[in-house]
Amino acid sequence: MKKEFWLEKWTSGLTPWNQQEVNEALRKWWPKIQIEQEREVFVPCCGKSIDLLYFTQMKLSVFGVDLAEQPLVEFRDEQRQNKYLNLRCEDFFKLTVTDRPFFPGRPIFVYDRASLIAFPPEMRRKYYDQMISLYPPSSTILLLTIEYDGFIEAGPPFSVPESEIRSSLESHFAIEKWEEEISANTNQRQFALGLKETKKVVYKLERK
């Protein structure tokens, strides 16, 4: 997806992924991860997700990046004085290990919702490379994906098979599948293409 695609989504207000309430899977699974207060949280492609506040309310410092400036400006305005919130307008693919919170190499938490699945297969290959290069050893990633039949052109959100995640990341991450749930596809465009169902999958990854 080109930058213009996302900027256009934000300027036109066509952001169906933007939830009004904290994500159900996050609320269910995050407490099962051993939380250490000193760990920082990284949220790639964060938009203006309300989930960012889930972490700041626990007094965890959150670093979110997004290509689009608009959601970050809006969110900052809405959440004035939140000292735990660090939002930067940057391209995830251009981040380096010298950027916070990857530097100086302490383990971090990563919350990946509607981020990996926002990208088509050729971009996901680079996304996996970034995960491997950026996330310090012992970092924990809560990764939420979806799967549906075929139709690569039906994304975003794209279907990301478990086999792809395992073959791309298994040598660098310990991967546990925590949950999968099939439900009606609420994406109207995909539903019209015949994709009546979608499978939501939750993984916990640990950087080796």
Ligand X SMILES: C[S@@+](CC[C@H](N)C(=O)[O-])C[C@H]1O[C@@H](n2cnc3c(N)ncnc32)[C@H](O)[C@@H]1O
If binding means CB under 6 A, how many residues of this protein chain bind ligand X? Answer: 19
Please confirm whether the linkage preceding 101 is cis (ω < 30° from 0).
Answer: yes
Distance in Å, CB of 104 to ligand X, minimum = 23
How far CA 53 is from CA of 26, 35, 63, 116, in Å, comes to 12, 16, 11, 21
Q: Which of 25, 49, 110, 173 binds ligand X (CB under 6 A)?
A: 49
201 is an interface residue for ligand X by CB under 6 A: no
Give CA angle at 174 (168, 176), nearest 5°: 95
169 is an interface residue for ligand X by CB under 6 A: no
Q: What is the dihedral of CA 186, 187, 189, 194, to 10 degrees?
A: -50
CB count within 10 Å of CB 180 equals 14
How far CA 22 is from CA of 53, 99, 141, 205, in Å, comes to 8, 27, 18, 21
Give 168 or 187: the residue with its C-beta nearer to ligand X.
187
Give 38 or 77: the residue with its C-beta nearer to ligand X.
77
45 is an interface residue for ligand X by CB under 6 A: yes
Q: Which of 108, 114, 116, 201 binds ligand X (CB under 6 A)?
A: 114
Q: Which of 25, 41, 62, 67 binds ligand X (CB under 6 A)?
A: 67
- Which residue ranges make up the site for ligand X (CB under 6 A)? 6, 17-18, 45-47, 49, 65-68, 71, 91-93, 113-115, 118
